[in-house]
Amino acid sequence: FCSESSSTNLKIATFAGGCFWCMEPPFEKLNGVESVVSGFSGGIKINPKYKDVAQGRTKHLEVVQVTFNPSIITYKKLLKVFWMNIDPTDINGQFVDRGSQYSTAIFFHDQKQKQAAINSVKTLTKLSIFPKPIVTKIREFKSFYPAEEYHQDFYKKSIITKTKYKYYRNASGRDKFINKYKKRISKGL
């Protein structure tokens, strides 16, 4: 679970944006993104299971780990996509998912990522886009554990899971929030 891909020109970014099912699609559609894997980071348990993370027993957050080609897409662009898909003002989770395991964070893999994340928070704060302060944490990446296979690409699996995902996504309030702020974030960053 290293911070660089096995191919030397690929890089890795790790983002916690609440439900990882909802965070895969925005990154997977980007040119230059090689893969997006749902999993867990930031906690104390080695090889945690979804059930334990979801119940808040591990201190891990649900995350997506994005492998990308920096000669095609920049880390700054990935940050922009991240900000456009979360509520950075909610310290207790994201939308209908409550608890610290669903809180937001940017896990930086090197000092350049750390500085880019800090700069993006400063810019968003200066723009006063949100009515409350940004509480998304910027944390050093330490480890990543992939979630069980049935969570990977959940949103595009069988008809049943697609239906379940669409219902969950619609009912969560995520899209309503995103649509309210997306354009302002996009212009500002």
Residue 137 dihedral angles phi and psi, to the nearest 5°: -90, 150
Residue 135 dihedral angles phi and psi, to the nearest 5°: -115, 5
Among residues 18, 70, 59, 62, the alpha carbon closest in space to that of 37 is found at 62
Strand partners, 108: 140
Cα distances (Å, whole numbers) of residue 97 to 6, 13, 119, 188:
33, 23, 28, 27
Pairing of strands 93-94, 97-98: antiparallel
Which positions are annotated as active-site residues? Answer: 19
The string of DSSP codes covering 42-111 is SSS-SS--HHHHHTT-S--EEEEEEEE-TTTS-HHHHHHHHHTTS-TT-TTEETTEESGGG-EEEEESSH
